[in-house]
Chains A and B, each alone.
Chain A
Amino acid sequence: MTGVTLSNVIKRYGETQVIHGIDLQIEDSEFCVFVGPSGCGKSTLLRMVAGLEETTEGQINIGPRDVTRLDPSDRGVAMVFQTYALYPHMSVAENMGFGLKMNGHPKAEIDQKVAAASKVLKLDDYLKRKPKALSGGQRQRVAIGRAIVRGPEVFLFDEPLSNLDAELRVEMRVEIARLHQEIGATMIYVTHDQVEAMTLADKIVVLRAGRIEQVGAPMDLYRNPDNRFVAGFIGSPAMNFLDGQITAGDVEVPGLKETVKLPVTIPSPGTQVQIGLRPEHLVMTKGDTHRVELTEALGGVSYAYLVTPTGEKIIVEERGDERSKIGDMVGLSFETDRAMLFDTQTEARIR
């Protein structure tokens, strides 16, 4: 088992550069999730690790080996595709054994490994079937089985759950987590769904426009984002941002109709800033500054959509028996050490 190291990895298509010098260290048997909005280059980066896209510059190491110019099949990786990519003319067993067959393993060994993988994934009853006779979830299990059978050093997942319905997605998510615990191999997982990222990852890599915004454990990114993008991307519902301005050591926030004192290094007066507040850190109080535009009751929690006096929108999480109604006028309070401050210009966190 081995980790993966990317050093100053760059990808260009002709003149357009899509990956701008990525440095990343993925430890042995770590579950690493690439997350970001669509078009951020996360899939491209994964395909570069797989060898399906050529690396223009930089170096990719799997363990101690430099694999930058190696053929995909020699890299010791296995990939699970979003569309499953099963071979439609082969049975489930043939699909899973194809990789070993291509590498000249004896039939007895292939059969034994396929049997072992199908046992882990509960596919024993379907081994003789063709992919088209399987459901979406079963197909994805076969695709994962095909990866397991090859016994790779690194598993690559390219949005493997986005073709499944919501219920199956949760089920498969748990299954992949279980698989990682059982096999303990290094896994790289690409998704745009931050719930998948939060629940599965040991380490999340947030990407935007071909650059790494932040790397860290899920809760670290949640509690301590480096910039406005990461703060807004991690967490559901997303963090609220309100425009503000620095005035003599304080932050004036028109959207809250108050001036707050924050325990951070306050920049020079006049600087444009944004204050970030997570929905669960806001509490509604008696007052008349904010109007409730809409509420979504999910049972245990409700989300109230508020409009500030400045017309900005805020989401507040509510628990307990008393919940707000549409049209209510309320005030807001929060603990100042929960609030985060971002520079509007650079989007960087002000700590």
Chain B
Amino acid sequence: MSPLIQGVLTIIIGVGGCIGYFFASNLILDKVIFPPKGDNPGRNINRANMVRPWLFLLPAILALGLYLVYPVIGSFWRSLFNRAGDEFIGFGNYITMFGDDQFRISLFNNFLWVLVVPAAATFFGLLVAQLTDRMKWGNIAKSLIFMPMAISFVGASLIWKFVYANNPDIGMINAVRDVFGLAPVDVLQLPFWNNFFLMVILIWIQTGFAMVILSAALRGIPEETVEAAIIDGANPFQIFFKIKVPQIMGTIVVVWTTITILVLKVFDIVYTMTGGNFGTEILPSYMMSYMFRDDGRATAVAFVIMLIVLPVMIWNIAQARKEMR
């Protein structure tokens, strides 16, 4: 069977299955289990209405349970076993992991990433959103800055590999150094600083995201409050920092936390650029380096990452909900 027909069939079965499920389940509920007749039709209708929401929730609960809750518990359980998965070793994986230098480096680097990337991406996003707001070619500038969002992390890494290339004929940085007569360097091997060169890639990608959301938020600010501030004698900087930014603070926090969560997940950039060498390892790439080799250790790392992400996630959702109100 050709993949095209397979695809179409999947859609038909999937969508048809959903419709069929809701139709049939409601029919059974109304006609068989609680029919609105017999001794107590009123009570039956009320009961049917109490059950009905659960019919709609059931598929989602099952899917989330299977693909979200089970993996979390399953991973945690797996992380308590040894490399082969046949011997229960309690928190042994966690203990060896925290004793591992490489893990401590990853934790520290990840801390740097979380500190720098969301801050920089949000800052640049806000800056671009404000600067392009009133310009004629602002929308073109915005599209250009948004474009990296469409590139996969691996694709972006490949592009930046050229920028950082240790060859003045290819790499931009070394081409500039060459002009000033400096010898080429491989920036990805500079201890400590190479982390920041990797972060630049993610900032480059995420600035577009921050810009789009913050640009919409800036446009939502009532024009009169800005005019009132002009009459009150505020200069452009004061208007931006004292009138505009406070009014979109909620959105800034949502953008910031969303990027933070993303930063804690991205392994591709480090994996592609340095493979975690030269002291650039971060938790997700550290996890990847153990995956399929030592699943016990890898799941332990995954669980640590989840614990770190969780509070940011909760804050993010709480803020987003507050925004919607």
Residues of A within 8 A of B (CB): 50-52, 71-74, 77-79, 81-89, 98-99, 102-103, 146, 150
Contact = CB atoms under 8 A, between A and B. Distances in A.
A73 B225 contact: no
Contacts of B234: 73, 98, 102
Interface stretch (B128-136, B142-150, B175-183, B243-251): B243-251
A87 B224 contact: no
Given A51-B230, A83-B222, A87-B247, 4 more contacts: A73-B231, A77-B231, A85-B227, A99-B232
B228 A89 contact: no
Nearest to B238: A102
Contact of B232 (A52, A73, A84, A88): A73
A134 to B, nearest CB: 15
A161 to B, nearest CB: 15
A71 B249 CA distance: 29
Interface string B233-256: 111001000010011010000000
Nearest to A143: B228
Nearest to A88: B247
B45 interface: no
A52 B227 contact: yes
Contact of A103 (B224, B229, B233, B243): B233
A295 B320 CA distance: 55
Contacts of A82: 224
A52 B233 contact: no
A71 B234 CA distance: 11
Given A83-B222, A87-B225, A89-B247, A102 B231 contact: no
A102 B233 contact: yes
Nearest to A104: B233
Contact of B229 (A77, A89, A98): A98
Main secondary structure of the interface of B (DSSP, over half): helix
A238 B235 CA distance: 47
Nearest to A98: B232
A72 B249 contact: no
Interface in B296-312: none
Contacts of B230: 51-52, 71-73
The number of chain B residues touching the other chain, given as a range, is 10 to 19
Contact of B233 (A50, A83, A84, A99): A99
A150 B228 CA distance: 12
Contacts of A103: 233
B231 A52 contact: yes
Given A81-B224, A102-B238, A87 B231 contact: no
Nearest to B227: A52
B243 A87 contact: yes
17 contacts: A50-B231, A51-B230, A73-B231, A73-B232, A73-B234, A81-B227, A82-B224, A83-B222, A84-B224, A85-B222, A85-B224, A85-B225, A85-B228, A98-B229, A98-B234, A102-B234, A102-B238
A73 B232 CA distance: 6
B232 A83 contact: no
B54 to A, nearest CB: 37
Contacts of B247: 87-89
A78 B249 CA distance: 28
A72 B246 contact: no
A146 B228 contact: yes
A102 B228 contact: no
Contacts of A52: 227, 230-231
Nearest to A52: B227
Nearest to A103: B233
Contacts of B224: 81-85
Nearest to A79: B231
A212 to B, nearest CB: 25
8 nearest A-B pairs in the assembled complex, by CB-CB distance:
A73-B233, A85-B224, A99-B232, A89-B246, A85-B228, A102-B233, A81-B224, A72-B231
A79 B233 CA distance: 12
Contacts of A73: 230-234
Nearest to A75: B231
A74 B232 CA distance: 9
Nearest to A149: B232
Interface string B183-225: 0000000000000000000000000000000000000001011
A81 B231 CA distance: 11
Contacts of A72: 230-231
B249 to A, nearest CB: 7
Interface centre among B222, B228, B234 (most CB of A within 10 A): B228
Contact of B231 (A78, A83, A88, A89): A78
Contacts of A83: 222, 224
Contacts of A102: 229, 232-235, 238
A103 B249 CA distance: 25
B252 to A, nearest CB: 12
Interface centre among B222, B230, B233, B243 (most CB of A within 10 A): B233
Nearest to A156: B231
Contacts of B231: 50-52, 72-73, 77-79, 99
Interface string B73-100: 0000000000000000000000000000
A87 B227 contact: no
A77 B234 CA distance: 14
Contacts of B238: 102
Contacts of A51: 230-231
A199 to B, nearest CB: 25
